[in-house]
Amino acid sequence: MREAMIVNRENLINVILAGLLLAVPFAANAFGEPFYITLATRVAILALAATGLNLALGLGGLVSFGHAAFFGLGGYVAGILASHGFSGEPLLFGFSGTNQMWVIWPVAVILAGLVGLAIGAISLRTSGVYFIMITLAFAQMVYYFAVSWPAYGGEDGLSILVRNQFPGVMTMRPMSFFLICYVVLLVSVGLFALIRASRFGSALQATRQNEVRVATVGIQPYRIRLTAFVISAMMTGLAGALFADLNRFVSPSMLSWHMSGELIVLIILGGTGRLFGPLAGAALYVAFEYALGGITERWQFFLGLILLLVVLFARGGLLGLLAGRARHG
Amino acid sequence: MGDAVLEISNLAKNFGALRATDGVTLDLRPGEIHALIGPNGAGKSTLIHQICGTLRQDSGTIRFAGQDIGGLGVAQRARLGLGRTFQVSSLASDFSALRNVMLAVQARRGSSFRFFKPVMRDKGLIDTAMTILERVGLAARARVPAAELSHGERRQLEIAMALALQSKAFLLDEPMAGMGPEGSKSLTRFLDTLRHEAPILLVEHDMDAVFALADRISVLVYGRIIATGTVEEIRSDPAVRTAYLGDHA
């Protein structure tokens, strides 16, 4: 009974969160305040990136401090394809870029997945602090590569002159672009839920709880983790492509370790491993950034305080606070 | 000897100057319970680790189900049918008893790379796991998280997971430890029936259980097997008496 009630309460909170995220831009639209639409879009995209990380970190216990690599990679895919599409300069094999999101997204996802496979294959040979450090090191390598590669703006970044297109949608309208991001977020969260409940999800969560136990029943933890890491990278890569389109700009800052840290912070704020934890965390984060950022430049100091409180007193994050402890059935 | 399920020969493992395993030769035959006893520090755990694959031997061979498994990893050995329980229970502690067993069932079926069907609506998986939980007497506690189970129940759950793997041999590391007299008795009865499913290599300190269950006993002292034989042979072996059994025999 208690179990069922907690699950229902969490579902209710999830619906409210998803509803709020949808309601804010509509209200902003009605009141002629498009800035809030942009904020909501930012929340949706950060939530998507963090949902990707949540798969590795929340379900698999893999504290990747390098997910900015995938986020930035997705961003650069959007930026580079768009810039070639605009200039008509051939990129590879006569392909001269595109401004179509439905082409950009799969490229971003596949590339992030491949890089995730390479980084994961090596990093997952380690664990604990070493894993954190090695993922950070890989991400920093990608970061410095982007900084020192002048073809696509180097340190200055790369502008996307006109937001990329999606068939049948006016992507330059903030509301339309928000809806694209919102749908992508919901689909990804749905995918996360499916994976979490599946046999693979069971094995992944068991690997987090007790690696030896998983090996003892004959499942190789490494393979499970690597697969999760790749899917995680793909989702975060997709978020990166959307983020570049939101800002119509991509720069190495998307690849920096601050970004990796931000994603981890979002998850911890919202609730590790929880379905809507990343959304709750992203909403909280962006609201903070906006509300406090207007008052003081040192808003991150206060964010730090909140994070401290969450870690000390509310380990389950916002969702743990609202919906109770997670149950695993 | 040729039909032994598990055959260990001349196994050796050193930690620096310490000979933890010193030329151990041991086999496990179909239908038997082979008990491995020895004083603390005799190298029982080190031997278990080498059989399971968490430690690699320095020399010697381990054959299991007709195959040399000395170079395989833990998961590969488990896939071949080596089921084990731990001295200190090792479970997915957030998961319920049921989900722990379901994990073992899905592992045996090699179906851990399915991404979409929810396990908690997978009737085949749940029913198989429930049947096994009933066998070990844990059905009523199926939905309780492993972390909240009692010590004895966790022991039972580990055995249930080994059963779910349809193991070809069981490697039980001190299953009686901390069980209490009643628990030990019922577990002894259970293990007595289990030997017909697959042979058991039983590492145990509880001599009552060992003498009640074992078809053969091997005595490990300072990394060496000093004697192997039936209960009677071991009881009357003078070397064993001085080395280990003391007033117990």
For residue A252, the domain's CATH number is 1.10.3470
pLDDT values of chain B reduced to their tens digit, one per residue, 249 residues: 458 999 999 999 999 888 899 999 999 999 999 999 988 888 898 999 999 999 999 999 999 988 999 999 999 999 999 999 998 889 999 999 999 999 999 999 988 999 999 999 999 999 999 999 999 999 999 999 999 999 889 999 999 999 999 999 999 999 988 888 888 898 999 999 999 899 999 999 888 899 999 999 999 998 999 999 999 999 888 888 877 665 554
Structure tokens at A324: 């109770």
Structural domain includes residue A280:
yes
Best CA proximity match to A262, nearest among A238, A286, A297:
A286
Q: Token match 């979490």: residue?
A: A196
Query: Which residues of chain A have a CB within 8 Å of the CB of B115?
Result: 194-195, 198, 200-201
Helix, coil or strand: residue B201: strand
Closest Cβ–Cβ partner in B94, B107, B118 for A217: B107
* All domains in chain B, ordered by first residue: 1-81+169-249 (3.40.50.300), 90-166 (no CATH)
| Residue to substitute from A199, A235, A275, interface B, most B β-carbons within 10 A | A199
Going from the C-alpha of A127 to that of each of A63, A124, A259, the distances in angstroms are 9, 7, 22
Q: Do A199 and B52 touch (CB under 8 A)?
A: no
* Tally of domains in chain A: 1
Burial class of residue A117, CB neighbours in 10 A (0-12, 13-18, 19+): middle
Query: Which residues of chain B have a CB within 8 Å of the CB of A315?
Result: none
Q: Do A202 and B102 touch (CB under 8 A)?
A: yes
Chain A residue with Cα closest to B52: A216
CA A175 – CA B135 distance, rounded (Å): 59
List the domain range (segments joined by +) for residue A35: 2-323
How close A193 gets to chain B, by Cα (Å)?
A: 9
Mean pLDDT, residues A303-310:
89
Q: Where are the alpha helices (DSSP H) in chain A?
A: 2-30, 34-54, 68-87, 101-123, 129-147, 174-197, 199-209, 211-216, 221-247, 257-270, 277-293, 299-313, 317-323
CA A254 – CA A251 distance, rounded (Å): 6
Q: Which residues pair with A159 in a beta bridge?
A: A249
Q: Do B78 and A216 touch (CB under 8 A)?
A: yes
Best CA proximity match to B103, nearest among A231, A200, A230, A272:
A200
Contact indicator for A50, A281 with CB cutoff of 8 Å: yes
Cβ–Cβ pairs < 8 A, chains A and B: 113
How close B138 gets to chain A, by Cα (Å)?
A: 16
Scan residues 173-212 of B and list those with Cβ closer than 8 Å to A.
Answer: none
Closest Cβ–Cβ partner in B93, B113, B122 for A200: B113
Q: What is the pLDDT of residue A95?
A: 77
Structural domain includes residue A282:
yes
Q: Is pLDDT at A101 greater than 80 in this prediction?
A: yes
Structural domain includes residue A328:
no
Going from the C-alpha of A19 to that of each of A15, A36, A185, A243, the distances in angstroms are 6, 15, 13, 22
CA B39 – CA B240 distance, rounded (Å): 11
Closest Cβ–Cβ partner in B99, B115, B164 for A200: B115
Going from the C-alpha of A260 to that of each of A43, A68, A105, A123, A253, the distances in angstroms are 16, 5, 21, 16, 10
**Does residue B230 belong to the interface with chain A, where contact is any CB pair within 8 Å?**
no
Q: What is the pLDDT of residue B217?
A: 95
Q: Token match 């490697």: residue?
A: B171
Closest Cβ–Cβ partner in B76, B103, B143 for A203: B103
pLDDT category at A6 given cuts 50, 70, 90 is low
Q: Which residues pair with A165 in a beta bridge?
A: A100
Closest Cβ–Cβ partner in B84, B95, B98 for A216: B84
Q: Do B108 and A218 touch (CB under 8 A)?
A: yes
What count of other Cβ atoms lies within 10 Å of the Cβ of residue B182?
Answer: 9
Q: What is the pLDDT of residue A182?
A: 98
Structural domain includes residue A258:
yes
- Own/partner contacts of A117-122, CB < 8 Å, gap of 24 or more, are A117/A226, A117/A230, A117/A233, A119/A66, A119/A69, A119/A229, A119/A233, A120/A225, A120/A226, A120/A229, A120/A230, A120/A233, A121/A226
Query: Which residues of chain A have a CB within 8 Å of the CB of B73?
Result: 215, 220
Closest Cβ–Cβ partner in A194, A195, A206 for B92: A206
CA B138 – CA B129 distance, rounded (Å): 11
pLDDT in tens, B113-164: 999 999 999 999 999 999 999 999 999 999 999 999 998 899 999 999 999 9
Closest Cβ–Cβ partner in B90, B104, B145 for A212: B90
Query: Which residues of chain A have a CB within 8 Å of the CB of B172?
Result: none
Contact indicator for A97, A83 with CB cutoff of 8 Å: yes
How close B247 gets to chain A, by Cα (Å)?
A: 37
Contact indicator for A180, A37 with CB cutoff of 8 Å: no
Structural domain includes residue A261:
yes
Q: Is pLDDT at A3 greater than 60 in this prediction?
A: no
Q: Do B75 and A219 touch (CB under 8 A)?
A: yes
Chain B residue with Cα closest to A328: B95
- The whole-model pTM stands at 0.93
Q: What is the pLDDT of residue A4?
A: 60
Structural domain includes residue A19:
yes
Q: Is pLDDT at A2 greater than 70 in this prediction?
A: no
How close A206 gets to chain B, by Cα (Å)?
A: 6
Query: Which residues of chain B have a CB within 8 Å of the CB of A230?
Result: none
**Does residue B148 belong to the interface with chain A, where contact is any CB pair within 8 Å?**
no
Strands A158-159 and B59-64: unpaired
pLDDT category at A91 given cuts 50, 70, 90 is confident
Q: What is the pLDDT of residue A88?
A: 77
| Residue to substitute from B52, B72, B112, B143, interface A, most A β-carbons within 10 A | B112
The strands making up B6-15's β-sheet, listed across from edge to edge, are: B18-28, B6-15, B59-64, B67-68
CA B36 – CA B205 distance, rounded (Å): 9
Phi, psi dihedrals of residue A321, rounded to the nearest 5°: -65, -45
Chain A residue with Cα closest to B166: A217
ipTM: 0.90
Interface of A with B (CB under 8 A): 3, 194-195, 197-203, 205-206, 209-210, 212-221, 224, 227, 328-329
Contact indicator for A80, A98 with CB cutoff of 8 Å: no
**Does residue B91 belong to the interface with chain A, where contact is any CB pair within 8 Å?**
yes
Q: Token match 């768009």: residue?
A: A82
Best CA proximity match to A242, nearest among A181, A286, A161, A190:
A181
Closest Cβ–Cβ partner in B95, B120, B164 for A206: B95
How close A302 gets to chain B, by Cα (Å)?
A: 33
Contact indicator for B47, B134 with CB cutoff of 8 Å: no
Measured torsion, CA atoms of residues B229, B232, B235, B237, in degrees rounded to the nearest 10:
-60
Contact indicator for B129, B105 with CB cutoff of 8 Å: yes
pLDDT category at A1 given cuts 50, 70, 90 is very low
Closest Cβ–Cβ partner in A199, A210, A216 for B114: A199
Contact indicator for A280, A265 with CB cutoff of 8 Å: no
Chain A residue with Cα closest to B99: A329
Q: Do A217 and B117 touch (CB under 8 A)?
A: no
Chain A residue with Cα closest to B89: A213
